[in-house]
A and B are shown apart, each in its own frame.
Chain A
Amino acid sequence: MRDELYNELVKSENLVYKKTSLMTDNVLSYCPGCGHGTAHRIIMEVIDEMDMQQDTIGIAPVGCSVLAYEFMNIDMQQAAHGRAPALATGIKRLWPDKLVFTYQGDGDLAAIGTAETIHACNRGENILIVFINNGIYGMTGGQMAPTTLPGMKTSTSPFGRNTALMGNPLKITELVAQLPGVHSVSRQAVHTPAAVRKAKKAIKKAFEYQKENTAGATFVEIVSSCNSGWKLPPAKANEWMMGEEPYVPVLSTGAIR
């Protein structure tokens, strides 16, 4: 009886989900509860669905996702901290028919790489920038990021971010949305299944735009939890991320441009 049930279940018409072959079998280096794994997966699923594996080049940043190339089964180059949009510019200008994307965290993109981000977008480089925002430096152990919210505790703002001393969080996504070279900007999240579906749709839209056009940057921010850096269990981190207090009221999701 059980064998019959099993044989019935494994029939291909009953298949509802299959790991994309564009994710390698390497064990993810991310903490349990981290959003990176989900973000990696949806990008790879989109490239798979578009049948663009042989025409995609990705850029890994410095930060937790420095090893993204271990998990994404596509040609990839690892950039110096913050320089991914410059690398992507160099590649895309010479391989205009390829899909080129960067995958960058908030420290990488919004602090040390602000100039490269702004200028690549302003030039209208036909690339996709995927911006993973968790409001903290994850890899180095939870220090204050340019995106750390006012009052938020980190290892370098242990009593909370004091904006009078430490400056204000940089809303770089809103900043990028003002630039004439940018085609589309949206803020997404990966803390619920519904949010993941929306984020994937945004990635797909951005890649489809890139494939069909010759200019215009696309920019997708994905708000992601860093439970280790936030010192919260994964479920609480997700609640906090989109709860009443910090992220959503400050950072509304959806299309910005």
Chain B
Amino acid sequence: MGELKLMKGNEAIAEAAIRAGVDAYFGYPITPQSEVIEYLASQKPEERTGMVLLQAESEVASINMVYGAAGSGKKVMTTSSSPGISLMQEGFSYIAGAELPCVVANVVRGGPGLGTIQPSQADYFQAVKGGGHGDYHLIVLAPSSVQEMADFVPLAFDLAFKYRNPVMILSDGMIGQMMEKVELFDPVPRWTDEEIKEKCPWATTGKTSDRERNIITSLDLDPSRQEKHNHKLQEKYRKISEEEIRFEKIECDDAEYIFVAYGSSSRIAQKALQLGRAKGHKIGLLRLITLFPFPYKELNDMAPNLKGILSVELSAGQLIEDIKLAVEGQVKAEHYGRMGGIIHSPAEILEAMEKNIIGGKK
């Protein structure tokens, strides 16, 4: 059994980064995730593993430091919260276009604009549909506990290097700030420079006489080649959609109604599920772990056996669009969620299920 600790979600990400053998963290403080860089600074990562920690002048700079270092084959990451993530979109687009591995965590807060510093899930569209310019996808993981904040860091790097694609850990201010028991995985060593050259033959590690020069770019001015590159990216996303969908079904076997939720809303929905079951409602929960790729087929297959779906999200209703695409009208699906940093209670979620789905018309 690994080391047990009581930690904030933000601290868990930071500790996991050191233990996962991450080479560098570049970041810029923003509430509610500044504990990530503060925790790292307190740990002297340069002494523990040789990990580089640098506070950049902006989120624009930190994502571009990540872009540069990722191009040289190193394991690098950054974290931020919604307004900072908006600034990083240019970088994500370049990193996705140049097919580089990196990990970024978004500890989402309420928006739009400067919004608020309380939890929100209103960055779903930005995370799963693109955010930056061009046809690209991030792989998006949604932790729902402090444990998963830690565990998803090495998982995110595995996926990032497997597919040479940026991976986002889409968290929120609640998961980032709350403290829970975490079982920490054992540290793995950072890759040596020789290992990097072997694992990442594409990286800018210096042109040797036995290979052509390595070029990291998202530019190709020839439209036919650029289209070919786009096809290649789409093929990769298709493969990811086939092989990397992750979700958890909770009490779905006999369920007539389900909540679909991720992150902190899935925790609250699980409590609402228990309250509903106590009242005799056959409710289940489909907890999404990957948001891209999305389990369209799973939901489509479940739909004929369901009487209704309530999407629960701290937003005006973003996840619900993918649910509706998935069920193709086979079953009623609606959204419930609070906005602007207000967190819904289990009772109000259950009430929404009872009024809008169970008692409502199909």
Contact = CB atoms under 8 A, between A and B. Distances in A.
B57 A119 contact: yes
Contacts of B90: 80
A115 to B, nearest CB: 6
A83 B61 contact: yes
What interface size band does chain B fall in? 35 or more
A74 interface: yes
B128 to A, nearest CB: 22
B219 A66 contact: yes
Interface string B200-236: 0000111111000111111100000000000000000
Nearest to A81: B90
Contacts of A80: 64, 67, 90-91, 94
Contacts of B52: 93-94
Contacts of A55: 206
Nearest to A89: B65
Nearest to B217: A78
A87 B218 CA distance: 14
Interface string A29-66: 00000000000000000000000011111011000001
Contacts of B103: none
B121 interface: no
A115 B206 contact: no
A116 B26 CA distance: 14
B20 to A, nearest CB: 16
B60 A83 contact: yes
26 contacts: A55-B206, A56-B207, A69-B213, A72-B213, A74-B207, A75-B214, A75-B215, A76-B204, A76-B214, A76-B216, A77-B98, A77-B204, A77-B216, A79-B64, A80-B64, A87-B71, A90-B65, A90-B66, A90-B67, A90-B68, A91-B71, A94-B24, A94-B52, A94-B69, A116-B57, A119-B57
Interface of A: 53-57, 59-60, 66-67, 69, 72-80, 83, 86-91, 93-95, 98, 115-116, 119
